[in-house]
């Protein structure tokens, strides 16, 4: 399903997101580059079947989730930007360095059937493509509510076989809530050379990013209803900073018309400091993390139409990453450290993964896919406070089979199905056989397995109409839990089930009007909570809305008036695993834009939360764990192309 106008380019013929017989959604540049967001994670709001947790806690801004995983934890998906992994720490998706104007498109693959990625590819993956090539320069200026100012500039130059692109962007805002201001900036450069025959393309991408953001803290439900702008006194110095540095080298080579190779190498660092205090009775903590990564990703593909079947495609992928991590914590008072560290971890992790996939178009109406992926992990961990050092648990050869098919009895009508396995590693430091204080624990832990399947139908009898309906199910087993016997040890125990159905549609009856929308229902249950957690049996998993829906109307021609209006709707959820407190978190928020285009200049006005809905953006407990959503706000902007 495509949201916006997607430009078809001559991409390399190795495996892409569109190859998957699964629920794949694409949000195009014309939907993204005009988005007005404080944090780039908010760009995921329009993707069908996803829900957003607006934490609004400085550099820990929030998260999106899908397929029944809760939004109080890190995203259960891997982020791939221009072919490079961009998750860090315990799996956090690092999408913040990518500002809207630089993004060409977002591709989201849901489910367990995609073999391209292993680590963090639990419920799917997000492929973000940034703009490359072209001979144009575009600038955008924006100003509006909460003293918000935003400026972006992107330029591309192609001459002969060489292309270069540059981007720079800056944003600052005081935020709707007290003590929620931010300042951030990003810059990138891309340089690529393609031989005259088109067989070889080589290039480099460099990027830097920095953000300094305050955190307003969480408040009670009563405070959120009466004074949503309020930030408690104990959070007056909460906030944090993050700095990113990235360099990657890219090469694509066509050996002949049937064999293609893609190779990428990279080095990147994400350094983050956060100050957080959860209550008046608690103490502020400084949390520091430094994650250095380097790695390589390669794909070798063979495609031929001269076999016994109509078309056969074989892919072999191989990827490697090494992580060097430091995590430290201090007790602080107004960001001033009080004594020695309360946590001092130094650890590294290396992994390699590989997959093979056979994709055969058997005849005009049947396509079959089979794949097998394997991942392996090693590493070392040292708790420098307790002087406890240990190796990673045995995490060799995590096998993940995948199969899929697509049946197309008539042009424009297709049935697809897939099933597969993904995995979750134990958390740190349990992954290395330690607890948080440096005590050695069981080394019998293993990964949790997530087995899922999906059945869907897509109807697109005309270019202007697409409808997709699917049903899915995922079961996670052997989840890592506290043993609950007073020993502090951990075991693989427990089982959870996630299931639901999704509907998405796109209608463009005329070139200047598009109606789009989606609706997703989900059921999530503790099937077997494990020892000591029997009070969760049969209960809903917390922090997962029972539905999410989006619908929008886009209007406009190449010149003259244009505009859009769209609704984001979300159901309520429990915030406790025993389901004893009231459900919270449902909302309906309308947003609207209108503008006028004259030649290569466009002026616009945007109103967010058009009806001034009072709502909770996120809640993680039922006492003082509420983050209010923003009130109605207005912004004016102008874009100019040269």
Contact between 379 and 357 (Cβ < 8 Å): no
- C-alpha dist (Å) from residue 354 to 223, 351, 375: 51, 10, 7
Kindly state the DSSP code that residue 17 receives in the 8-state scheme: G
* Mean local confidence (pLDDT), 99-106: 95
Q: What is the pLDDT of residue 9?
A: 44
Q: What is the Cα–Cα distance from 424 to 95, expressed in whole angstroms?
A: 21
3-state secondary structure of 530: coil
Residue 8's pLDDT band (boundaries 50, 70, 90)? very low
Q: What is the Cα–Cα distance from 327 to 437, expressed in whole angstroms?
A: 13
Q: What is the pLDDT of residue 136?
A: 92
Residue 309's pLDDT band (boundaries 50, 70, 90)? confident
Q: What is the Cα–Cα distance from 58 to 217, expressed in whole angstroms?
A: 9
- C-alpha dist (Å) from residue 122 to 46, 65, 106, 530, 598: 21, 11, 18, 21, 46
- pLDDT exceeds cutoff 60 at 356: yes
pLDDT digits 0-9 by tens, 198-242: 999 999 999 999 999 999 999 999 999 999 999 999 999 999 999
User: Which residue from 155, 144, 246 is spatially nearest to 204, judged by alpha carbons?
Assistant: 246
Kindly state the DSSP code that residue 573 receives in the 8-state scheme: B
Q: What is the Cα–Cα distance from 633 to 353, expressed in whole angstroms?
A: 46
- pLDDT exceeds cutoff 50 at 12: no
Assigned token pair, 627: 């983050």
* Mean local confidence (pLDDT), 24-43: 91
More confident residue, 489 or 639: 639
Q: In 3-state terms, the chain is what percent helix, strand and coil (to 5)?
A: 5, 60, 35
Mean residue pLDDT across the chain: 93
Contact between 260 and 14 (Cβ < 8 Å): yes
Kindly state the DSSP code that residue 599 receives in the 8-state scheme: T
Could you give the angle at the alpha carbon of 496 between the alpha carbons of 490 and 502, nearest 5°?
145
Q: What is the Cα–Cα distance from 358 to 490, expressed in whole angstroms?
A: 39
Number of structural domains (the chain) is: 1
Contact between 379 and 348 (Cβ < 8 Å): yes
- pLDDT exceeds cutoff 90 at 576: yes
User: Which residue from 420, 522, 450 is spatially nearest to 71, judged by alpha carbons?
Assistant: 522
* Mean local confidence (pLDDT), 87-106: 90
Q: What is the pLDDT of residue 584?
A: 95
**Alpha helices of 220-346 — where are they, by DSSP H?**
221-226
Residue 13's pLDDT band (boundaries 50, 70, 90)? very low
Q: What is the pLDDT of residue 485?
A: 78
Q: What is the pLDDT of residue 548?
A: 96
Within 10 Å of residue 484's Cβ, how many Cβ atoms?
Answer: 16
Q: What is the pLDDT of residue 1?
A: 76
From the CA atom positions of the chain, what is the Rg in Å? 24
Task: Name the percent of the chain lying above pLDDT 90.
Answer: 82
3-state secondary structure of 40: helix
Beta-sheet strands, E only, within 111-258: 124-130, 136-144, 148-159, 162-173, 182-194, 200-214, 239-254
* Mean local confidence (pLDDT), 147-162: 96
Q: What is the Cα–Cα distance from 508 to 561, expressed in whole angstroms?
A: 18
Q: Which residues contact 81 (CB under 8 A, 6 or more apart)?
A: 98, 127, 128, 129, 130
Among positive and negative, which fits the CA dihedral 276, 279, 280, 285?
negative
Assigned token pair, 51: 């829900």
Could you give the angle at the alpha carbon of 188 between the alpha carbons of 182 and 193, nearest 5°?
165
Q: Which residues contact 486 (CB under 8 A, 6 or more apart)?
A: none
Burial of 512 (0-12, 13-18, 19+ CB in 10 A): middle
User: Which residue from 157, 102, 164, 161 is spatially nearest to 135, judged by alpha carbons?
Assistant: 157
> For residue 631, which phi and psi values (nearest 5 degrees)?
-75, 180
Q: What is the Cα–Cα distance from 114 to 124, expressed in whole angstroms?
A: 7
- pLDDT exceeds cutoff 80 at 14: no
pLDDT digits 0-9 by tens, 317-337: 999 999 999 999 999 999 999
Burial of 363 (0-12, 13-18, 19+ CB in 10 A): exposed
3-state secondary structure of 16: coil
Contact between 113 and 418 (Cβ < 8 Å): yes
Burial of 8 (0-12, 13-18, 19+ CB in 10 A): exposed
pLDDT digits 0-9 by tens, 412-437: 999 999 999 999 999 899 999 999 99
Residue 15's pLDDT band (boundaries 50, 70, 90)? low
- pLDDT exceeds cutoff 60 at 187: yes
- pLDDT exceeds cutoff 50 at 11: no
CATH number at residue 304: 2.40.170.20
- pLDDT exceeds cutoff 80 at 595: yes
Whole-model pTM: value is 0.94
Q: What is the pLDDT of residue 463?
A: 87
Burial 514-544 (b: 16+ CB within 10 A, else e): bebbbbbbbebbbebbbeebeebeebbbbbb
Burial 559-570 (b: 16+ CB within 10 A, else e): eeebbbbbbbbb
- pLDDT exceeds cutoff 80 at 4: no
* Mean local confidence (pLDDT), 104-109: 94
Q: What is the pLDDT of residue 477?
A: 94
pLDDT digits 0-9 by tens, 83-92: 999 998 767 8
- pLDDT exceeds cutoff 80 at 305: no
- pLDDT exceeds cutoff 70 at 390: yes
Domain of 308, in residue numbers: 2-641
Residue 6's pLDDT band (boundaries 50, 70, 90)? low
Task: Name the percent of the chain lying above pLDDT 70.
Answer: 97
Q: Which residues contact 8 (CB under 8 A, 6 or more apart)?
A: none
User: Which residue from 463, 527, 495, 635 is spatially nearest to 6, judged by alpha carbons?
Assistant: 463
More confident residue, 1 or 408: 408
Q: What is the pLDDT of residue 10?
A: 39
Contact between 216 and 182 (Cβ < 8 Å): no
């Amino acid at each position: 399903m495509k949201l916006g106008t997607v430009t078809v380019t001559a991409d390399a013929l190795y495996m892409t997101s569109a190859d998957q017989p699964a629920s794949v959604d694409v949000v195009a540049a014309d939907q993204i580059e005009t988005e007005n967001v404080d944090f780039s994670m908010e760009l995921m709001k329009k993707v069908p079947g996803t829900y957003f947790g607006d934490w609004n806690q400085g550099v820990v801004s929030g998260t999106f989730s899908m397929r029944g995983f809760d939004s109080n934890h890190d995203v259960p998906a891997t982020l791939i930007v221009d072919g490079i992994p961009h998750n860090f720490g315990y799996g956090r998706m690092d999408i913040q360095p990518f500002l809207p104007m630089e993004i060409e498109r977002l591709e989201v693959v849901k489910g367990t059937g995609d073999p391209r990625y292993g680590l963090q590819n639990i419920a799917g993956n997000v492929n973000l493509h940034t703009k490359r090539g072209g001979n144009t320069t575009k600038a955008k200026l924006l100003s509006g509510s909460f003293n918000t100012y935003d400026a972006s500039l992107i330029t591309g130059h192609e001459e002969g076989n060489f292309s270069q692109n540059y981007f720079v962007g800056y944003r600052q805002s005081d935020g709707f809530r007290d003590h929620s201001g931010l300042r951030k900036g990003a810059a990138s450069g891309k340089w690529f050379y393609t031989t005259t025959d088109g067989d070889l393309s080589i290039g480099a991408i460099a990027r830097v990013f920095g953000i300094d953001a305050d955190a307003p803290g969480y408040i009670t439900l009563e405070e959120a209803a009466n004074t949503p702008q309020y930030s408690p006194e104990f959070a007056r110095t909460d906030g944090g900073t993050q700095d990113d540095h990235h360099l990657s080298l890219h090469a694509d080579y066509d050996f002949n018309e049937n064999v293609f190779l893609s190779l990428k190498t990279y080095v990147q660092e994400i350094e983050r400091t956060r100050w957080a205090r959860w209550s008046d009775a608690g103490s502020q903590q400084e949390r520091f993390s430094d994650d250095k990564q380097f790695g390589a990703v390669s794909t070798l593909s063979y495609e031929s139409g001269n076999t016994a079947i109509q078309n056969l495609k074989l892919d072999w992928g191989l990827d490697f990453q090494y992580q060097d991590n430091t995590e430290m914590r201090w007790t602080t008072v107004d960001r001033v450290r009080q004594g020695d560290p309360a946590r001092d971890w130094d650890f590294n992790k290396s992994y390699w993964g590989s997959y093979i996939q056979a994709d055969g178009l058997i005849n005009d109406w049947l396509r079959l896919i089979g794949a097998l992926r394997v991942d392996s992990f090693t590493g070392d961990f040292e708790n420098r406070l307790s002087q406890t050092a240990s190796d990673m648990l045995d995490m060799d050869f995590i096998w993940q089979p995948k199969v899929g098919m697509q049946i197309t009895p008539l042009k424009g009508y297709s049935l697809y199905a897939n099933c597969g396995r993904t995995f979750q590693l134990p958390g740190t430091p349990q992954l290395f056989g330690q607890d948080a204080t440096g005590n050695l624990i069981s080394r019998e832990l293993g990964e949790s397995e997530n087995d899922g399947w999906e059945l869907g139908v897509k109807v697109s009898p005309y270019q202007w109409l697409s409808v997709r309906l699917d049903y899915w199910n995922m079961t996670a087993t052997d989840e890592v839990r506290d043993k609950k016997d007073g020993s502090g040890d951990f075991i693989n125990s427990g089982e959870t089930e996630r299931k639901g159905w999704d509907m998405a549609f796109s209608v463009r009856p005329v070139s200047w009007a598009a109606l789009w929308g989606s609706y997703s229902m989900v059921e999530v249950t503790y099937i077997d909570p494990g020892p000591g957690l029997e009070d969760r049996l049969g209960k809903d998993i917390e922090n997962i809305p029972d539905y999410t829906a989006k619908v929008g109307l886009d209007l406009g021609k190449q010149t003259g008036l244009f505009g859009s209006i769209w609704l984001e709707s979300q159901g309520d959820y429990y915030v406790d695993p025993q389901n004893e407190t009231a459900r919270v978190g449902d909302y309906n928020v309308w947003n609207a834009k209108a503008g006028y285009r004259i030649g290569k200049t466009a002026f616009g006005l945007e109103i967010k939360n058009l009806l001034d809905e009072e709502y909770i953006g996120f809640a993680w407990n039922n006492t003082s764990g509420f983050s209010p959503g923003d009130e109605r706000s207005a912004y004016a902007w102008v874009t100019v192309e040269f």
